[in-house]
Amino acid sequence: MLILASGSPRRRELLGKLGYSFQVEPSLFEESAKGLSAYETVLAFAEGKAEEVLSRFPSACVLGADTVVEEGGEILGKPKDEEDARRMLRRLSGRTHFVHTGVAILTERTRRVFAVTTEVEFYPLSEELIERYVASGLPLDKAGAYGIQDGYPLVRKIKGSFTNVVGLPTEEVDTMLKETLGGTPC
């Protein structure tokens, strides 16, 4: 049995498109990352989320993931409120940043923990666009206060995995799941 240790609708959709049957069990893992880089943070959080769910379902294969946006060495997680979303979008406007997603695929006998990084360049954003986007409510549950898939003209170009920016690097996840599960989807 494959379990996705996340309540994210985006991760659920991406994993489903790979053809795996799975159940969703959001993790109860408490996130705390003092002193860790963005890359180390996503690795630690993905593994912590997967470990917590595996402790409840020891015979399962558990997939945990965590995504953050990093700009100028600072981690931009999910915004606290609309004003925080505006602040993040202004900060990303016209700049290049990195999206890191950590992934942990754990069973009783195997541990595969890795991270994927994608470079993202934003267009310069007008205040009108920022206000319209924030008013839509879409940025409020996303790292860095944006979703590349939301249909707003934010992203000029990316270098790397598009699905990583959405929240789950599907090519790498598919490869690791097949290795973990012996080549067959659950």
Residue-wise pLDDT for 69-80, tens only, equals: 999 999 998 999
Give the pLDDT mean for 17-35.
91
Residue type, position 29, single letter: F
The pLDDT assigned to 156 comes to 97
Per-residue pLDDT for 185 more than 50?
A: no
Catalytic residue selected from 66, 84, 141, 150: 66
Assigned architecture for domain 2-180: Alpha-Beta Complex (3.90)
141 in catalytic set = no
User: Which of the four pLDDT bands, split at 50, 70 and 90, describes residue 169?
Assistant: very high
The pLDDT assigned to 186 comes to 44
Query: Which three-class secondary structure state does DSSP give residue 168?
Result: coil
pTM of the entire structure?
0.92
Give the pLDDT mean for 21-49.
92
Q: Are the CB atoms for 85 and 145 separated by under 8 Å?
A: yes
Residue with tokens 């990084």: 117
CA separation for the pair 184, 124 (Å, rounded): 45
Task: Break the chain into its structural domains and give their ranges.
Answer: 2-180
**Tokens at 161, concatenated:** 């995995």
> What is the DSSP secondary-structure string of 62-128?
EEEEEEEEEETTEEE-S-SSHHHHHHHHHHHTT-EEEEEEEEEEE-SS-EEEEEEEEEEEEPPPPHH
